[in-house]
Amino acid sequence: MWLYVAPPVVGGIIGYFTNDIAIKMLFRPYRAIYIGKRQLPFTPGLIPRNQERLAKRVSDTIMGSLLTPDELQKLARRLLQPERVQSGILWLLKLALEQVKLDKEQKKHQDCFWYPQRLSRAIFAPFTKGFSAARGLFRNANQSNI
């Protein structure tokens, strides 16, 4: 039984670690590592070392096959149809009006919440001033007794 189970399990473990090392070697380290004046081999990783060249090739491929001038013109014609532009402007205006209504309602509710706070401050302000003055007297008295 072990003769049939062990090879795939051992192969899977070995494959996991070799793939892990290979991926790390592709992407890491990001900069070259030097010992003295000599650069360690395989530093930086393959992808960071060739990043500019890979980016250029990918952009050339995309611009050459996916975003041709004809495709961009077709897309612009579809997006700039008068009906679509009109519906987009109407949608934005409705959204702006809803936001204005919400802002007005929130302002009204904020005023409702502010009145009780203002009233309580006005009522309790003389008491809190008296308490702070009394607290100061007690502190002075305690310090002089020490």
Domain that holds residue 110: 100-146
10 domain residue, yes or no: no
What's the pLDDT score for residue 127?
53
Q: Is the pTM above the cut of 0.95? A: no
What's the pLDDT score for residue 19?
94
Q: Which of 60, 62, 83 has its CA nearest to residue 71?
A: 62
Coil, strand or helix at 39: strand
Q: How many domains does the chain have?
A: 1
- Around Cβ 22, how many Cβ atoms within 10 Å? 10
121 domain residue, yes or no: yes
110 domain residue, yes or no: yes
Helices (H), 50-81: 51-61, 69-79
pLDDT along the chain (146 residues), means of 10: 90 95 85 87 83 90 81 83 84 87 75 56 55 54 54
64 domain residue, yes or no: no
What's the pLDDT score for residue 33?
86
What's the pLDDT score for residue 10?
95
92 domain residue, yes or no: no
What's the pLDDT score for residue 111?
57
127 domain residue, yes or no: yes
* Tokens 């495709």, residue located: 71
- Around Cβ 42, how many Cβ atoms within 10 Å? 14
46 domain residue, yes or no: no
d(CA 118, CA 130): 19
Rg (alpha carbons) of the chain, rounded to whole number: 36
143 domain residue, yes or no: yes
What's the pLDDT score for residue 53?
92
